Amino acid sequence: MHRISSWTDLVSAAGGFRYGSLSAGAPPTPIKAEWLNMVQEEIASVVIGAGIALDKTKTDQLKRAIQKMVSDYLPLSGGTLAGLLKATKGVRTAKGLPGGNASEVGYAFDDDGDTGLFATGGTAENGSDVVLLVDRREVARFTGNGRMTFDGGNEPYHTGNKPTMLDVVYPVGSVYMNASVATSPAKLFGFGTWLALAPGRILIGAGTGTDARGDVRAFSVGGSGGEYSHVLSSAEMPVHAHAMPQGSDVPSGTTGPVYASGDDGTRATKPNDIPNTGDAGGGLAHNNLPPYLTVYMWKRTA
């Protein structure tokens, strides 16, 4: 498209139409068919480009064509964007979380506007949080100081909050075990006070337990007991008997045991005496340890 000055010199200083003055020797701008055809095709191409057939009985086709083309790409007064929005510059939206049943802020993804990405808090320029909502429920929040929370305040693990997260995993009183590293958890984790726990002892659960023999025992927290080896007492020995090496005989007319020699030929009476079969065993303690695996154990005390 171009001005009429492209077809005639009889124009205003700005290249537009002029009334002119014949008496002053300045004729008016002539109407050129080339210019009129150009204007006609420019207007017609807009109407046709909007998918509207030219109709000589209609006087609003250019307006309807412009409205249709704009509404297909970007509804300025609200509504549904039917086409793809492409931006070569930044896109801005109002700050805030959705209210009611429709969002007029942020970038909503569903019909009622309560699922999407929204900015809230701070000032118009600084200090905002970016919040991801799903059906108005806060799923994730990203803050200006680099924090990220999920599900309304739960913070994920990262190197910056390692002590905080491990404090949840290992509260005071927790036990930490490692099968190969002897370094204190205070140094490994960077938090808490830890003491080596129960060197040379195994752990047992607090409460009352019953073993395979039906023996019931109660164990209180912090209690200790047991021994590595044990010497049996007489009461702990199983009931048993030993065979007499010489045999015995009680002839009629005697008043006490009669013990025979090895050939059963010599007898002697020892009233009220119990024969001794001879000593056996060494009286040493026996191993009392269950199968075990040695590890490093630590208890958090603060």
Q: Do residues 56 and 113 both lie within one domain?
A: no
**CA pair distance 173, 198, nearest whole angstrom:** 13
Q: Is residue 124 part of a domain?
A: yes
Per-residue pLDDT at 247: 46
pLDDT tens-digit map of 34-52: 999 999 999 999 999 999 9
Last residue of a domain, one of 122, 139, 156: 156
- Tokens 């337990």 belong to 209
Q: Do residues 111 and 60 both lie within one domain?
A: no
Per-residue pLDDT at 157: 63
Q: Where are the alpha helices (DSSP H) in the chain?
A: 33-49, 61-73, 162-169, 185-189
pLDDT tens-digit map of 11-38: 999 999 999 888 888 999 999 999 999 9
Instruction: Say which residue, 86 or 8, is predicted with more confidence.
Output: 8
Residues 108, 113, 116, 122, CA torsion sign: positive
Q: Is residue 34 part of a domain?
A: yes
- Tokens 């017609």 belong to 44
Q: Is residue 138 part of a domain?
A: yes
Q: Where are the alpha helices (DSSP H) in 129-282?
A: 162-169, 185-189
Question: Phi/psi at 37 (nearest 5 deg)?
Answer: -65, -40
**CA pair distance 298, 296, nearest whole angstrom:** 7
Judge whether residue 196 has pLDDT over 60.
yes
Per-residue pLDDT at 184: 95
State the DSSP string of 114-149.
Answer: -SEEEEESS-SSS-PEEEEEETTEEEEEE-TTS-EE
Give the domain range for residue 142: 107-156
**CA pair distance 207, 97, nearest whole angstrom:** 52
**CA pair distance 246, 267, nearest whole angstrom:** 11
Among 92, 58, 56, 52, which Cα is nearest to 72's? 52
The answer to whether the pTM exceeds 0.75 is no
Question: Phi/psi at 265 (nearest 5 deg)?
Answer: -100, -30
Q: Are 92 and 85 in contact (CB under 8 A)?
A: no
pLDDT tens-digit map of 75-127: 556 666 666 777 787 777 878 887 755 556 788 887 777 888 888 887 777 77
Q: Is residue 30 part of a domain?
A: yes
Cα of 178 vs its chain's centroid, Å: 24
Q: Are 44 and 37 in contact (CB under 8 A)?
A: no
Q: Is residue 259 part of a domain?
A: no
Per-residue pLDDT at 272: 53
Question: Phi/psi at 76 (nearest 5 deg)?
Answer: -75, -25
Instruction: Say which residue, 93 or 211, is predicted with more confidence.
Output: 211
Last residue of a domain, one of 138, 156, 174: 156
Q: Parallel, antiparallel, or unpaired for β 148-150 and 137-142?
A: antiparallel
Averaged confidence pLDDT in the chain: 82
Q: Is residue 210 part of a domain?
A: no
Quote the tokens at residue 259. 């013990």
| Mean pLDDT of the 160-189 span | 89
Q: What's the CA dihedral at 264, 269, 272, 275 to 10 degrees?
A: -30
Among 166, 168, 173, 169, which Cα is nearest to 191's? 166
Among 163, 166, 158, which Cα is nearest to 142's? 158
Per-residue pLDDT at 82: 67
**CA pair distance 224, 204, nearest whole angstrom:** 9
Last residue of a domain, one of 73, 93, 115: 73
The CA distances from residue 33 to 4, 30, 39, in Å, are: 10, 10, 10
Cα of 50 vs its chain's centroid, Å: 51
Q: Is residue 195 part of a domain?
A: no
Instruction: Say which residue, 69 or 260, is predicted with more confidence.
Output: 69
Question: Domain tally for the chain?
Answer: 2
Instruction: Say which residue, 161 or 296, is predicted with more confidence.
Output: 296
Among 206, 182, 180, 203, which Cα is nearest to 194's? 182
Q: Is residue 32 part of a domain?
A: yes
